Amino acid sequence: MYDIFQTEKLIELWLTEDIGHCDLTVQLMIPEDALGTFYMNAREPMYIAGLDVAARVFSKYDSRLQITRHVKDGDQVQQGTKLLTVTGPARSILTAERPALNIAQRLCGIATETARYNAEIQGTQARLIDSRKTTPGLRMLEKHAVVCGGGL
């Protein structure tokens, strides 16, 4: 599992880094009162990791957003599976979408690769474990993704 306090600090950093003062394109192109719905769907078969963190990116950016998680970390899903639905102010959805997708893609990718390697060693006495070779700042989340994919 991961430390939620550290995750909150990371989310603040990601939002600040990605958005800066504001998302000018969204502010200029999307009416202030526009509402929308965002669906995060699996583009290929995968293992889920970090979906709670991705959902938190949306809620941290705008608490008015309604978020529904359809799967949980560690689940194996098929292409087209609905993972997350976000409804609310369109400006907020579009602004928070990129950092949320970035972390979900990274962690699901790690979980999925871990599961693939795990399948290769199935039937042996080998066990797949994580290492210290992680992305700076993302260690706890990447190690969690390894566990979601069946590693130790």
Domains of the chain: 4-148 (3.90.1170.20)
pTM metric for this prediction: 0.92
pLDDT digits (tens, 9 = 90+) for 105-145: 999 999 999 999 999 999 999 999 998 899 999 999 999 99
122 by Cβ neighbours in 10 Å (0-12 / 13-18 / 19+) ranks as exposed
C-beta separation of 59 from 11 below 8 A: no
pLDDT digits (tens, 9 = 90+) for 56-68: 999 999 999 999 9
Say how far apart CA 92 and CA 65 lie, in whole Å: 8
Where do the DSSP E strands lie in 100-149?
A: none
For residue 116, which of 143, 146, 138 has the smallest C-alpha distance?
146
